[in-house]
Amino acid sequence: MRFDTIAGFSLFLCLTTAHLQQPHHAHHQPTQQHMNRRERFFHDIGVALSGVWPPRTRSQRKMVKRGGVMSKNQCILRTPNNLIQDSPSTSPANGTSTSSHGSSTKKGGSTSTSTSTSTTKSSTSTGKGSSPTTTTTTAASTPSSAYKKKFDASGDDFFDNWTFWSLEDPTHGTVQYTTQQDAQNSNLIDIDNDGNAIMRVDTTAQISGGRKSVRIHSAQTFNGGLWVMDALHAPTGCGTWPAFWTHGPNWPADGEIDIFEGVNENGNNQMTLHTAPGCTVLPDSGGTGKLLGSVCGAAETGNAGCGILDNNANSYGAGYNSNKGGVHAMLWDDEGVSIWFFPRGSIPKDLSSEAPQPDSWGQPSAHFPSSTCSAYGFNRDHTTIFDTTFCGDWAGAAWGAAPTQGGPSCAEKTGVATCQEYVQTHGADFSEAYWTVKSVKIYQTS
């Protein structure tokens, strides 16, 4: 076949290539569109053979994108007015589409995501090609924790994790501990609308014996681990003696760890160990609290043990409750026993996310190092306990003493001679003698 002009020959090759690249389907029947395409093809061949360009305005034509794949060939047509280039548009791996006729960038393409890193690539056309820019964003994530949750008392099932102690109070309090059924019938226990556990005391105006209260023991025992108790409110007021603590089956040989404890109208939490003889703690033990006694043996101290007073004024009592409590954490490991208090609003994020990182918490309020009191040598098989008693060996004995933050004693404030008399005749005064506990969680590393 002969052509009178080079332009005609070039046009013929270009159009032939474009026509042959159209998709073909074995069972596709001819349509009017296909017939029109065939007629235009033979018409354009005739034009090419004649060497005469028809007097018409030619608009820019782009290669057709089919099935998301652009043609890889280029066809350049020289016309009287301009040079039209139907160039392939690149489809980078991220879905960015660029055109040589003006800069056009389609963002939001493919995103590669790993556990903690999201990487997005995007290209911006410059007309001569462009280099992809890689932006890497590392998502905020909680570091993994070596501590695995072994015990969880929270929500509607909170009381399923405990047994109710209904025996005589070993600390000689003016109290009557109830069974679970009696506690329910007397409205002493409840789960509020937010899923918090409530433990109250009886507020009957006058009683002849002990005032009804609740003491619960965890169904599981532990040797070492991390205890985390989150409370919004704890009992307070003259005559009260609440505690959250752990102890072994044989007291004091298997030890006792008081995590949260106080009496009457004290304003500072007291953390104490009660052990067999031989356990001591030194003033420079590493905690921030005030050491009250260095000998922990119960027999050697009249059962007082070695106490450390928290310096935080909101760690116990009215200040604690007005601040909506906080989180108490006790770590029992090879290094000893450490106790922290985190007021509401200052709770570490790793505790809220159940991925505790004790090494990041700073100095504890109390630290009883194994160097002078072996944590595992003096503590074994501990159960976890909540209780609220009245008077007894501590609150009763301290009836005439000033509270930790100073001020009048309960004897001076109430005008009642003894703690027992007050507890039996002033039931309405115990409206603040209740626990509101969000959760108790115990973690171990194995």
**Whole-angstrom Cα distance, residue 360 to residue 299?**
36
b (16+ CB within 10 A) / e for 70-99: bbeeebebeeeeeebebbebebbebebbbe
Query: Is residue 354 annotated as a catalytic residue, yes or no?
Result: no
Q: Residue 443 pairs with which residues in a beta bridge?
A: 149, 226
124 vs 31, 103, 110, CA distance in Å? Answer: 40, 7, 15
Q: Both ends of the chain: CA-CA distance in Å?
A: 86
> Structure tokens of 28?
């596709």
Query: Is residue 261 annotated as a catalytic residue, yes or no?
Result: yes
- The residues, any chain, with a CB within 8 Å of residue 408's CB and separated by 6 or more, are 402
* Identified catalytic residue from 39, 256, 300, 421: 256
Q: Residue 69 pairs with which residues in a beta bridge?
A: 66
* CA count, 13 A, side-chain hemisphere, 179: 3
* Identified catalytic residue from 39, 168, 261, 432: 261
Q: Virtual CA dihedral for 356, 360, 366, 370, nearest 10 degrees?
A: 80
Note the Cα 82 to chain centre separation in Å.
65
Q: Is beta strand 435-444 parallel, antiparallel or unpaired with respect to 148-154?
A: antiparallel
Pick the closest to residue 257 from 373, 404, 399 (CA basis): 373
Active site residues: 256, 261
